[in-house]
Amino acid sequence: MRRRLVAGNWKMHKTPSEARAWFQNLLERLPQTEAEAALLLPFTHLPYAAQVLGDRVAYGAQDVSAHREGAYTGEVSARMLADLGCLYTIVGHSERRSYHGETDALVAQKAQRLLEQAIVPILCVGEPLEVREAGEHVAYTLRQLEGSLNGVNPPAASSLVIAYEPVWAIGTGKTATPEDAEAMHKAIRSWLEGRYGRGFAEGVRILYGGSVRPDNASALFAQPNVDGGLVGGASLKLEDYLQLLTA
């Protein structure tokens, strides 16, 4: 009942013109698959995504302003993203939490701004290595989830995506085992049930992220509570991304 989602997080890679050519190649080779494809792009690439991908492949941004409009130099609002046809946008990625000091409270505001524009937040949570080694990863991740959803009320289960991304697995080549990912995803779903109710929790897609590649994706995506992936490095190569869509 939950449609798998394979979301590519391009981070700060490729130029807009390179992206445009890549989008064209993607459309030419897009497989018939039950999974939904999405690309989370630098702001500068979004007009080309709107032009080329249109409504054939979902796309969105990697961050958004916590403010609605005004004198906020350098910021990009949820309304601007909605105008460009963004369906999804990442909030709370660990790189923003650690390099830009984003707190749970700020992440919650950003998620709320997206929901106001009917854009689905892909909310990232996940523990650093020392927390995993101390055996505190579930409590840590659920606390982060609670803070990042404080005051956030998605109208439907389809209006929210959670991405569990253990920090130690991002860009490192180390992946959580399918069993470890499943255990955390189950804990997240049962937390969602307590907060929003059973029907809602059953409908929310929970993605795994952290060194997902064509050779490990099938085992991860086969877990009952893993509803797809948030993929960095492997989403930049067309061949790999296409393989992930059929994994």
Chain residues that interact with ligand PGA, rule: CB under 6 A:
9, 165, 170-171, 209-212, 230-234
Q: Name which of 43 and 196 has its Cβ closer to ligand PGA.
A: 43
Q: Name which of 36 and 193 has its Cβ closer to ligand PGA.
A: 36
Question: From the CB of 11, what's the least distance to ligand PGA, in Å?
Answer: 7
Q: Name which of 160 and 212 has its Cβ closer to ligand PGA.
A: 212
Nearest alpha-carbon partner for 122 in 29, 70, 60: 60
Q: Name which of 202 and 215 has its Cβ closer to ligand PGA.
A: 215
Secondary structure, 3-state, 141-197? HHHHHHHHCCCCCCCCHHHCEEEECCHHHCCCCCCCCHHHHHHHHHHHHHHHHHHHC
Candidates 93, 95, 102, 182; catalytic one: 93
Residue number, nearest CB to ligand PGA: 232
185 is catalytic: no
| 159 beta partners | none
Question: From the CB of 230, what's the least distance to ligand PGA, in Å?
Answer: 5
Q: CA 11 to CA 226: how far, in whole Å?
A: 22
Using an 8 Å Cβ cutoff, are 224 and 233 in contact? no
Q: CA 187 to CA 107: how far, in whole Å?
A: 21
Secondary structure of residue 108 in the 3-state scheme: helix
Q: Name which of 54 and 171 has its Cβ closer to ligand PGA.
A: 171
Residues in contact with 65: Cβ distance below 8 Å, sequence separation at least 6, in sequence order? 72, 75, 76, 77, 78, 110, 113
Written as one string, the DSSP assignment of 120-141 is EEEEEE---HHHHHTT-HHHHH
| 148 beta partners | none
Which residues are catalytic, by number? Answer: 93, 165
